[in-house]
Amino acid sequence: MLKRKLNNQKGLTLVELLAVIVVLGIIAAIAIPAFGGVIDKSKRNADEATLTLIKDAAIRYAMTENISSVPRANGNIQSVLIEKGYLNNFSATLQSDSDRAFDSFALSFDSTNKRYEVKVYDAAPDPQEITFPSSN
């Protein structure tokens, strides 16, 4: 009769339950920071794509309107590119840095290399060029 009770065990012992919890904790400790890195990278990629779209729209604007330069003071993204139809409305706030926003651009034509150069600036009191260092 005692042997029958020992063979009919159901459930987990406390040690087995603790072992499962420890394993799950280790997996979570590895997965959560990795997942956070994926989110940060996707925000940065979204900002880089938006920056590229703004630059492309500025070049289309300059080529269509036959303009060789636009100073930053006249290059408001909202009033030049969006209102004239070169760029659809977009979220100006950077995804990777919510304290910054795409605000203005400066455009110049390099006659030596026959190409446009576009710089995009944020809306801070002291506007800084928005760039993304290459990541390898």
Adjacency order of strands within the sheet including 102-110: 69-70, 102-110, 115-122
- Across the strands, what pairs with 93? 101
Question: Cα separation of 33 and 76, whole Å?
Answer: 38
Q: Which of 10-14, 99-103, 117-121 has the lowest mean pLDDT?
A: 10-14
Does residue 41 surpass a pLDDT of 80? yes
Does residue 136 surpass a pLDDT of 60? no
Does residue 42 surpass a pLDDT of 80? yes
Average pLDDT over residues 23-35: 88
pTM for the full predicted model: 0.72
Does residue 135 surpass a pLDDT of 60? no
